[in-house]
């Protein structure tokens, strides 16, 4: 008898994708046990618990065992709700995205583009663990799809091609993400050193003045001094967001007006 090869798993649809769209495909939200009492919690409740834990303690704290313990379940029982941790992370990202109400887009093109970036920035600040959910396949769930449609509406009608619309959205949200990363690095440095940036610079002012005096960095010395006096720190993420976003939008509008 000839051997029939097993189907290549790479050709099989990922079951987690249907779980992601469970509310729009009619997929049961609760796993059906073959026997015994009805399951205690829903998939939504499992994902909400994981989001709350990530917000409070960071993404590293989110394990299948930790979530199961919150509901008094065995770790293996949780796999009847969510197939694995990667799937849980994707469900978390989509579910938390759906919590942000998408505001009506203003008529002014500049204000529309600003809104896309600022909404992304504020969401990432509220849930910084979203920046870490990047080594997982970025499945488009229903809330992510709603967000993308809204973002595209913000750039629609500017005179961009479809590819340029997609790239413009990518630049805006990518820039917002980079600003939040900078804010997180600043915050972590303060936690590690136990000093604010202003305190660190004050403590090291004399040494820095000595090593930079008469150095080969006249521009860095001049600009750095001006920036330090204005920021009272090495960086000012809020200014970077406003300035960088303005220049990005200047470039986009100049491009479509050519």
Return the pLDDT at 36: 40
Which letter does DSSP use for residue 217 in this model? -
**Torsion sign, CA atoms 19, 23, 27, 31:** positive
Q: pLDDT category, 33, cuts 50, 70, 90?
A: very low
**How far from chain centre, in Å, is Cα 204?**
35
Cβ neighbour number for residue 180 with a 10 Å cutoff: 22
Q: Is the pLDDT of residue 32 over 80?
A: no
| Residue range 132-152, pLDDT digits in tens | 987 666 568 999 999 999 999
Average pLDDT of the chain to the nearest whole number? 86
Which letter does DSSP use for residue 106 in this model? P
| Residue range 151-180, pLDDT digits in tens | 999 999 999 999 999 999 999 999 999 999
| pTM score, whole prediction | 0.84
Of 19-33, 55-69, 222-236, the poorest mean pLDDT is in 19-33
Q: Is the pLDDT of residue 109 over 90?
A: yes
**How far from chain centre, in Å, is Cα 184?**
12
Dihedral (C-alpha) 245, 249, 255, 258: value to the nearest 10 degrees? Answer: -140
| % of the chain residues with pLDDT over 70 | 86
**How far from chain centre, in Å, is Cα 231?**
26
| Residue range 67-104, pLDDT digits in tens | 999 999 988 999 999 999 989 999 999 999 999 999 99
Tell me the H-state helices in the chain: 15-20, 22-25, 43-57, 64-70, 75-78, 85-97, 109-126, 142-155, 162-193, 197-203, 205-212, 218-231, 237-257
State the average pLDDT over residues 119-132. 96
Return the pLDDT at 149: 96
| Residue range 38-51, pLDDT digits in tens | 567 899 999 999 99
Return the pLDDT at 35: 42
Q: How far is CA 136 from CA 84, 85, 191, 226, in A?
A: 12, 10, 28, 42
Residue of higher predicted confidence among 225 and 244: 244
| Residue range 193-228, pLDDT digits in tens | 888 877 877 788 788 777 777 678 888 878 877 887
Return the pLDDT at 174: 95
Side-chain-facing half-sphere of 88: CA atoms under 13 Å: 28
Q: How far is CA 57 from CA 52, 66, 125, 184, 191, in A?
A: 9, 12, 14, 14, 15
* CA angle 168–169–174, rounded 5-degree value: 100
Return the pLDDT at 37: 43
């Amino acid at each position: 008898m000839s051997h029939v090869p097993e189907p290549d798993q790479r050709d099989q649809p990922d079951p987690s994708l249907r779980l992601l769209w469970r509310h729009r495909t009619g997929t049961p939200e609760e796993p059906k046990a073959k026997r015994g009492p009805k399951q205690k919690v829903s998939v939504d409740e499992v994902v909400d618990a994981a989001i709350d834990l990530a917000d409070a303690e960071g993404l590293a704290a989110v394990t299948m065992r930790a979530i199961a313990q919150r509901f008094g379940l065995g770790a293996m029982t949780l796999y009847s709700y969510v197939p694995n941790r990667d799937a849980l992370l994707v469900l978390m990202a989509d579910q938390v995205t759906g919590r942000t109400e998408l505001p009506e887009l203003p008529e002014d093109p500049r204000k529309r583009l600003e809104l896309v970036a600022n909404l992304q920035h504020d969401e990432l600040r509220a849930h910084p663990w979203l920046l870490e959910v990047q080594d997982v396949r970025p499945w488009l769930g229903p809330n992510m799809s709603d967000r993308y449609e809204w973002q595209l509406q913000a750039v629609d009608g500017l005179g961009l091609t479809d590819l340029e619309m997609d790239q413009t959205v990518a630049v805006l949200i990518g820039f917002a993400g980079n600003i939040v990363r900078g804010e997180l690095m600043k915050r972590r440095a303060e936690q590690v050193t136990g000093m604010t940036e202003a305190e660190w610079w004050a403590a090291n002012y004399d040494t820095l003045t000595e090593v930079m005096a008469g150095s080969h960095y006249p521009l860095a010395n001049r600009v750095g001094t001006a920036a330090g006096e204005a920021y009272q720190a090495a960086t000012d993420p809020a200014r970077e967001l406003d300035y960088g976003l303005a220049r990005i939008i200047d470039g986009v509008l100049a491009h479509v007006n050519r």
